[in-house]
Structure 1
Amino acid sequence: MKHQKQTKTEWSLIIKLILAIGLGAIVGSFASEGLMSFIVSIKYVLGQFIFFTVPLVIIAFIAPAITKLKHNANKMLGAGITIAYLSAVGAASLAYFGGMLVIPYLSIPSAIDSLKDLPEAGFQLSIPPIMSVMTALVFAMLLGLTSLKTKAEIIEKGLHEFEAMMLLVIKSAVIPLLPLFVAATFAGLAYEGTLTQQLPVFVKIVALALVGHIIWLAVLYAIGGLVAGKNPWRVLKHYGPAYLTAVGTMSSAATLPVALDCARKSDALSKGSTDFMVPLGGTIHLAGSVLTETLFVMVISLMLYGAIPSFATMAVFILLFGIFAIGAPGVPGGTVMASMGIVVGVLGFDPAGVALLIAIFALQDSFGTACNVTGDGALTLMLEGLFNKEGELSAGVSSTEEMKPIKSV
Structure 2
Amino acid sequence: MNKLKNNLLFKVILAIVLGILLGGIIPETIGRIFITFNSFFSELLNFLIPLIIVGLIVPSIGRLGQTAGKLLLVTVLIAYGSTIFAGLLGYSASMSIFPSLLENQTEQINLGEKAKEFAPYFSIEFPPFFAVMPALVFSFLFGIGLSRLQDSTFGKLADNFEEIITYLIQHLIIPLLPIFIFGIFLNMSYSGQVVTILNVFLKIIGIIFILHVTLLTIQFIIAGIIAKKNPLKMMQLMLPAYFTALGTQSSAATIPITLAQVKKIGVRDEIASFAVPLCATIHLSGSMLKIVSCCLALMLIQGMEINFIQFLGFMMMLGIAMVAAPGVPGGAIMAAIGIIASMLGFSPENQALMIALYIAMDSFGTAGNVTGDGAIAVTLDTLFKKKTIDNLTSTR
Which TM-score tier does this pair reach, normalised by the shorter chain?
A: 0.5 to 0.7
Indicate whether 1:384 and 2:381 are aligned: no
Kindly report which structure 2 residues correspond to 1:29-108, keeping only aligned pairs within 5 A, or say none.
29=23, 30=26, 31-34=30-33, 36-38=35-37, 40-41=39-40, 44-45=43-44, 48-49=47-48, 52-99=51-98, 103=101, 107-108=104-105
Q: Judging changes above 3 Å, is the alpha-carbon distance between structure 1 residues 167 and 278 closer, same or farther for their aligned structure 2 residues?
A: farther
Summarize deviations over 1:233-282 as a string: whole Å, max 9, x none.
34433445786xxxxxxxxxxxxxxx564454644386755665555566
Q: Judging changes above 3 Å, is the alpha-carbon distance between structure 1 residues 107 and 285 closer, same or farther for their aligned structure 2 residues?
A: closer
Give the count of matched residue pairs: 334
Indicate whether 1:237 and 2:234 are aligned: no
Match of 2:355 in 1: 366
Match of 1:139 in 2: 141
Query: How far off is 1:216 after superposition?
Result: 1.8
Indicate whether 1:338 and 2:343 are aligned: yes
Indicate whether 1:193 and 2:192 are aligned: no
Which amino acid in 2 is paired with 1:154? D
SS at match of 1:119: coil
Query: How far off is 1:17 after superposition?
Result: 4.9
Match of 1:22 in 2: 14
Match of 1:256 in 2: none
CA–CA separation in structure 1 for the residues paired with 2:41 and 2:301: 36
SS at match of 2:378: helix
Which amino acid in 1 is paired with 2:216? Y
Q: Judging changes above 3 Å, is the alpha-carbon distance between structure 1 residues 220 and 322 closer, same or farther for their aligned structure 2 residues?
A: same
Summarize deviations over 1:75-97 as a string: whole Å, max 9, x none.
23332332222111111222244
Query: Where in structure 1 are there 5+ consecutive unaligned residues?
Result: 1-7, 244-258, 341-356, 396-409
Summarize deviations over 1:126-165 as a string: whole Å, max 9, x none.
6647975632652366236x62xxxx4434x974x56864
Kindly report which structure 2 residues correspond to 1:350-365, keeping only aligned pairs within 5 A, or say none.
364-365=353-354
Match of 2:312 in 1: 322
Contact 1:212 1:291 in 2 (8 A): no
Query: How far off is 1:325 after superposition?
Result: 2.2
CA–CA separation in structure 2 for the residues paired with 1:236 and 1:33: 42
Contact 1:260 1:274 in 2 (8 A): no
Which amino acid in 1 is paired with 2:11? L
Query: How far off is 1:189 after superposition?
Result: 0.7
Match of 1:177 among 172, 176, 183: 172
CA–CA separation in structure 2 for the residues paired with 1:261 and 1:82: 21
Q: Judging changes above 3 Å, is the alpha-carbon distance between structure 1 residues 179 and 187 closer, same or farther for their aligned structure 2 residues?
A: same
Q: Judging changes above 3 Å, is the alpha-carbon distance between structure 1 residues 382 and 296 closer, same or farther for their aligned structure 2 residues?
A: same
SS at match of 1:286: helix
Kindly report which structure 2 residues correspond to 1:144-293, keeping only aligned pairs within 5 A, or say none.
147=148, 152-155=149-152, 159=155, 165=160, 168-169=163-164, 173-193=168-188, 197-224=192-219, 227=223, 229=234, 231-240=237-246, 259=250, 261-262=252-253, 264=255, 266-268=257-259, 273=275, 276-277=278-279, 280=282, 286-293=288-295
Q: Judging changes above 3 Å, is the alpha-carbon distance between structure 1 residues 185 and 367 closer, same or farther for their aligned structure 2 residues?
A: closer
Q: Judging changes above 3 Å, is the alpha-carbon distance between structure 1 residues 383 and 66 closer, same or farther for their aligned structure 2 residues?
A: farther
Summarize deviations over 1:16-53 as a string: whole Å, max 9, x none.
55236525764784434245424643564477457633
TM-score norm. by structure 2 comes to: 0.62
- The percentage of aligned residue pairs carrying the same residue is 7
Match of 1:119 in 2: 120
TM-score norm. by structure 1 comes to: 0.60
CA–CA separation in structure 1 for the residues paired with 2:98 and 2:90: 12
Query: How far off is 1:60 after superposition?
Result: 2.1
CA RMSD across the alignment = 4.9
Which amino acid in 2 is paired with 1:119? P
Contact 2:241 2:257 in 1 (8 A): yes
Which amino acid in 1 is paired with 2:289? A
- Which deviates more, 374-383 or 275-284? 275-284
